[in-house]
Amino acid sequence: MQLAPFYPILYRILKPIFPTCLWNGDEASPTIALTFDDGPHPEYTPQLLKVLDEYQIEASFFWLGVCVDRNPSLAKEIHQRGHWIGLHGYHHHSFPLLTPDELKQSLQKTQTAIANACQIDRDRVRDVRPPNGLFTPKVLQLLHQNNYRPVMWSVVPEDWVRPGIAVASNRVMANIGNGSIIVLHDGCCGGQDVSAIAANLIPRLLQKGYRFVTIDELWRQKHP
């Protein structure tokens, strides 16, 4: 069963309960963030980058450390193009299933992989999106204690089950609004369609007057 119809409901329920997560940007500003999880992937991510380059879009990527270690040159290229980088854990393991030490090690190992690949200070990479969107108050407490910034989403087209390019794109368009954070996937699950979905969505969103920004800019909107 596809869960896409329930994500807008979950968003409205969870957002006020966990206000320290970034769920969206400024609702008075026509800015949106295009974000991608589970990469970098050696085939799907370069296809996506061509689309982003065509429209000069700066996106935000939440990487798995294992994928960074497998594709360090690609990770460096993405960073050099000006895209924002965040953490998704070393492996795609739901954070509540990890012990506090395992979670801390997973995030630190991913930071190190990104720092080595992109030649940047590891402390600059502190935005975290939990795999599967799953977290607990205890997980959030650990993230805040270790100076991480938890990032969620407001528009989820469930592209990882591959409902079709038109379906995924139309789901985004039906739920988009000022400050929206769109989550897509450029990894093994969903990455096959990601460049085509992006190519479908971006001109439609630009036509509606939206401006694409990074997750970091959305944080600055929330805490000027």
Q: Choose, from 41, 79, 83, 185, the residue flagged as catalytic.
A: 185
Is 79 annotated in the active site? no
| CA dist., res. 94 & res. 89, Å (int) | 9
Q: What CA–CA distances, in Å, run from 119 to 21, 32, 189?
A: 28, 28, 28
C-alpha atoms less than 13 angstroms from C-alpha of 74 in its C-beta half-sphere: 20
Is 144 annotated in the active site? no
Q: Choose, from 37, 38, 127, 159, the residue flagged as catalytic.
A: 37
HEC letters along the chain: CCCHHHHHHHHHHHHHHCCCCECCCCCCCCEEEEEEECCCCCCHHHHHHHHHHHHCCCCEEEECHHHHHHCHHHHHHHHHCCCEEEECCCCCCCHHHCCHHHHHHHHHHHHHHHHHHHCCCHHHCCEECCHHHCCCHHHHHHHHHCCCEEECCCECCCHHHCCCHHHHHHHHHHHCCCCCEEEEECCCCCHHHHHHHHHHHHHHHHHCCCEEECHHHHHHHHCC
Q: Mind telling me the catalytic residues?
A: 37, 185
